[in-house]
């Protein structure tokens, strides 16, 4: 089994190293966004920013650290970052690993509205894979290994030229902050049964593909305009590059909550703030029923007025 997550952080804890690299790449020494060039998308599933992130980590992490990018679209996570011994263990299908020396990274891009705040602040789509504290990846022989999951939320803005962008806000979030229900993750990512032989001619199928909605950390206004690391660990400021700036809680049930910790780059001298309770926005009302999809609604009054105008134009003089 993996090491206890409450063990003291070891030097070179990879998630904090990755956070420092990305923060220093996307923001300058005063915390202002640094513009960079991003190539155009080649096709619908192509993602230049995901590629940019993995190339940054590959180029700036210690030489012995391996950055593996998903080899095809629609694969979760987008990348695995590991020290060599953990990579060899992964290839061999091992399970006894150091959770600070390997993690999966999923990149989530968030659009900014005209008001400068993220769209979908009360919940993001997670496609067919819900976020989780631990996620599954597979060795070459098909054996699985469970590793910590981390989620990089980024709000991008265009600026300067057509292919020039900058990061408005960034949060690297441990999967435990979003969801700790491993059973839910396993049920979802396991084998599902399709509905087949549907429709008049029997050539239709329903993939029964789930679409998940979970929290958007950038919906918390405090995270905007900065780079923040949110973790279930309270000792990450042992890394001299980081400062513990506040705690936050998330309610599990009445009277029961989970405690998490927020960090920013120490060189920015960030102020320490009071604990935030349930800061991720939630929808005011969430119903079990889904809205009807693809409804084409016709305003008959507009249609009638349109026909009258058409007849008026065609009336002979």
pLDDT digits (tens, 9 = 90+) for 29-52: 999 999 999 888 777 667 889 999
CA-CA distance, 264 to 98, in Å (whole number)?
A: 24
Q: In this structure, what are the phi and psi dihedrals at residue 176, rounded to the nearest 5 degrees?
A: -60, -25
Query: What's the whole-number average pLDDT of the chain?
Result: 85
Residue 39 is predicted with a pLDDT of 85
pTM confidence score: 0.85
Under a CB-based contact definition with an 8 Å cutoff, are residues 23 and 227 in contact?
yes
Residue 8 is predicted with a pLDDT of 40
> What is the rounded average pLDDT of the residues 78-88?
87
Which tokens hold the place of 225? 């305009």
Is it the case that residue 225 has pLDDT exceeding 70?
yes
Going 186 to 103 to 26 to 56, the CA torsion angle's sign is negative
Q: How many CB atoms lie within 10 A of CB 138?
A: 11
CA-CA distance, 164 to 157, in Å (whole number)?
A: 9
Q: How many CB atoms lie within 10 A of CB 241?
A: 17
Length of the chain: 317
Under a CB-based contact definition with an 8 Å cutoff, are residues 301 and 275 in contact?
no
Q: Please, is 195 exposed, middle or buried when counting C-beta atoms within 10 Å of its C-beta (0-12, 13-18, 19+)?
A: exposed
Q: Among 112-121, 163-172, 202-211, 225-234, which stretch is predicted with the lowest mean pLDDT?
A: 112-121
């Amino acid at each position: 089994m993996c090491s206890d997550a409450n063990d003291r952080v070891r030097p070179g804890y990879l998630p904090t190293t990755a956070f420092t690299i990305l923060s220093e790449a996307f923001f300058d020494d005063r915390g202002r966004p640094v513009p960079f060039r991003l190539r155009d998308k080649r096709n619908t599933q192509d993602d230049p920013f995901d590629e940019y992130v993995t190339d940054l980590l590959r180029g700036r992490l210690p030489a012995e650290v391996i950055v593996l990018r998903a080899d095809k679209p629609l694969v979760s996570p987008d990348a695995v970052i590991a020290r060599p011994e953990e990579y060899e263990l992964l290839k061999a299908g091992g399970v006894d690993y150091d959770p600070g020396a390997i993690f999966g990274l999923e990149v989530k891009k968030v659009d900014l509205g005209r008001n400068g705040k993220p769209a979908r602040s009360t919940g993001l789509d997670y496609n067919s894979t819900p976020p989780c504290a631990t996620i599954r990846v597979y060795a070459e022989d098909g054996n699985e290994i469970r590793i910590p999951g981390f989620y990089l939320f980024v709000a991008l803005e265009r600026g300067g030229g057509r292919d020039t962008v900058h990061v408005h806000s960034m949060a690297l979030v441990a999967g435990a902050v979003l969801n700790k229900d491993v059973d839910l993750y396993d049920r979802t990512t396991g084998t599902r049964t399709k509905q087949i032989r549907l429709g008049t001619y029997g050539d239709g199928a329903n993939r029964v593909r789930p679409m998940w909605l979970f929290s958007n950390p950038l919906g918390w206004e405090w995270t905007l305009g900065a780079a923040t690391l949110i973790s279930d660990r309270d000792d990450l400021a042992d890394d001299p590059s980081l400062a513990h700036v506040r705690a936050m809680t998330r309610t599990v049930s009445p009277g029961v909550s989970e405690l998490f910790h927020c960090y920013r780059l120490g060189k920015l001298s960030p102020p320490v703030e009071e604990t935030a309770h349930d800061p991720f926005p939630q929808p005011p009302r969430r119903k079990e029923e889904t809205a009807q999809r693809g409804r084409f609604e016709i305003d008959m009054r507009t249609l009638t007025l349109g026909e009258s105008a058409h007849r008026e134009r065609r009336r002979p003089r």
